[in-house]
């Protein structure tokens, strides 16, 4: 099936196995701008595009569903992408992050008053709910992961502080993450939905490790304080389903209770409020993953809440919706997504 130069390819006739591919090849030069804006909007979110050479512009985009996240490969001539206040007025309620890995040439990015250049061998983070500009002048290949903000926050504390910073992907976890992104793209068409969901989870875990490996210092914290804070955050996430007392966290990290409280206060939160926030973020991810299976009570107890009622109140205070309301939205979105894939596969 071909529409507007778009080919929807189902590698095999297994349920939900789909690689969505777009290309400007069959588009007339005068319609390529409109076409490319359309597929970029469908894959990520609305953006305004300015081309280096509009009449000669060429681009191709492949995207894969990996459960809660998506992966895409974008290859095109030079272009400027802009996310502006007009787009934000109609933005989807769920904030997301784009993790962009350039392959062939450097990219330039600015958001929230900060500018950064990122060459091949690195990656950057972009927030969907703030204006930004993103560009490259030469033909480039980009790998892009789109991750819901709650999922990323459950793995990386305050990811918004990492926007407009270039991260090293030439070694360690960063190198492993980027190589896995490139490698799995050639194999995803032969994986079922459950396998692709697992791959997506592993990629987010590797991203979290890569960020922790090379994260810049937080404002007001020395490198030693930052290292202790990251160690405390990791301990909390690793034991989030268990009872967590500040003293136990401090002892596990080899620091005093007073020092632990000071570290979190310097970041603007108490230890207990950060633990509670992490429980809520993990529970929200669980609501999305198990929209048709686990009960709200099971999720509440799984993530350390004293009762379903307490969980529901805290969840609504944090997200603005009750867990049951959020679940209804996630189910509707999942059903819509599955219906789309069914139509593609058929």
Q: What is the pLDDT of residues 290-325, one digit of tens each?
A: 666 889 999 999 999 999 999 999 999 888 889 998
Burial class (CB in 10 A: 0-12, 13-18, 19+), 25: exposed
Which residue's structure tokens are 């310097």?
266
Q: Are strands 19-23 and 48-51 parallel, antiparallel or unpaired?
A: unpaired
Strands (DSSP E) contained in the chain are 2-3, 6-9, 19-23, 48-51, 59-66, 69-76, 79-83, 96-102, 107-111, 114-118, 122-127, 132-136, 140-148, 167-168
> Do residues 70 and 128 lie in contact, with contact meaning Cβ atoms separated by under 8 Å?
no
Question: DSSP assignment, residue 22?
Answer: E
| Closest C-alpha among 321, 243, 234, 248 to residue 276 | 243
Q: For the beta carbon of residue 97, count every other beta carbon within 10 angstroms.
A: 25
pLDDT of residue 14: 37
pLDDT of residue 8: 34
Question: DSSP assignment, residue 304?
Answer: T
| Closest C-alpha among 318, 244, 229, 309 to residue 275 | 244
pLDDT of residue 345: 44
- Going by C-beta distance under 8 Å and a sequence separation of 6 or more, which residues neighbour residue 262? none
> Do residues 79 and 52 lie in contact, with contact meaning Cβ atoms separated by under 8 Å?
yes
Alpha-carbon distance of 292 to 179, in angstroms, equals: 33
pTM: 0.68
CA 31, chain centre distance (Å)? 31
The domains of the chain, with CATH numbers, are: 2-216 (2.60.120.10), 223-334 (1.10.10.60)
Alpha-carbon distance of 260 to 23, in angstroms, equals: 53
φ, ψ for residue 268, nearest 5 deg: 95, 15
Would you give per-residue pLDDT tens digits along the chain (346 residues)?
Answer: 333 333 333 333 333 445 788 888 888 888 888 899 999 999 999 999 998 777 788 999 999 999 889 999 999 999 999 998 888 876 566 789 999 999 999 999 998 888 899 999 999 999 998 899 999 999 999 999 999 988 888 888 778 878 878 888 888 888 999 999 999 988 888 888 888 989 998 999 999 888 876 654 444 667 688 778 878 988 998 899 999 999 999 999 999 999 999 998 887 789 999 899 889 988 888 887 766 688 999 999 999 999 999 999 999 988 888 999 888 887 776 665 454 444 444 4
């Amino acid at each position: 099936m071909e529409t507007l130069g778009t080919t929807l390819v189902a590698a095999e006739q297994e349920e939900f196995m789909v690689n969505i591919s777009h290309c400007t090849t069959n588009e007339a030069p005068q319609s390529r701008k409109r076409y490319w804006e359309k597929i970029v909007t469908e894959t990520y979110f609305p953006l305004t595009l300015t081309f280096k050479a509009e009449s000669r512009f060429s681009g191709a985009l492949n995207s894969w569903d990996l459960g809660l996240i998506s992966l895409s490969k974008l290859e095109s001539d030079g272009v400027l992408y802009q996310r502006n206040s007009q787009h934000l007025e109609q933005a989807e309620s769920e904030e997301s992050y784009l993790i962009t890995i350039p392959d062939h040439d450097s990219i330039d990015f600015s958001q929230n008053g900060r500018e950064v250049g990122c060459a091949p061998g690195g990656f950057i983070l972009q927030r969907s709910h703030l204006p930004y500009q993103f560009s490259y002048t030469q033909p480039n290949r980009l790998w892009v992961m789109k991750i819901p903000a709650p999922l990323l926050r459950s793995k990386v504390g305050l990811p918004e502080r990492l926007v407009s910073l270039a991260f090293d992907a030439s070694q360690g976890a960063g190198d492993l993450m980027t190589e896995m992104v490139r490698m799995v793209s050639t194999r995803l068409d032969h994986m079922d939905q459950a396998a692709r969901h697992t791959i997506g989870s592993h990629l987010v875990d590797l991203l979290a490790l890569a960020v922790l490996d090379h994260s810049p210092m937080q404002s007001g914290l020395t490198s030693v304080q930052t290292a202790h804070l990251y160690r405390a955050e990791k301990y909390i996430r690793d034991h989030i389903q268990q009872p967590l007392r500040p003293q136990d966290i401090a002892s596990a990290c080899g620091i005093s209770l007073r020092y632990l409280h000071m570290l979190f206060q310097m970041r603007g939160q108490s230890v207990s409020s950060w633990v509670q926030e992490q429980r809520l973020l993990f529970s929200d991810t669980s609501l999305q993953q198990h929209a048709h299976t686990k009960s709200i009570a099971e999720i509440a107890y799984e993530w350390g809440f004293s009762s379903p009622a307490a969980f529901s109140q805290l969840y609504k205070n944090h997200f603005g919706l009750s867990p049951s309301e959020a679940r209804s939205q996630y189910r509707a979105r999942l059903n819509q997504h599955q219906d789309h894939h069914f139509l593609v596969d058929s």
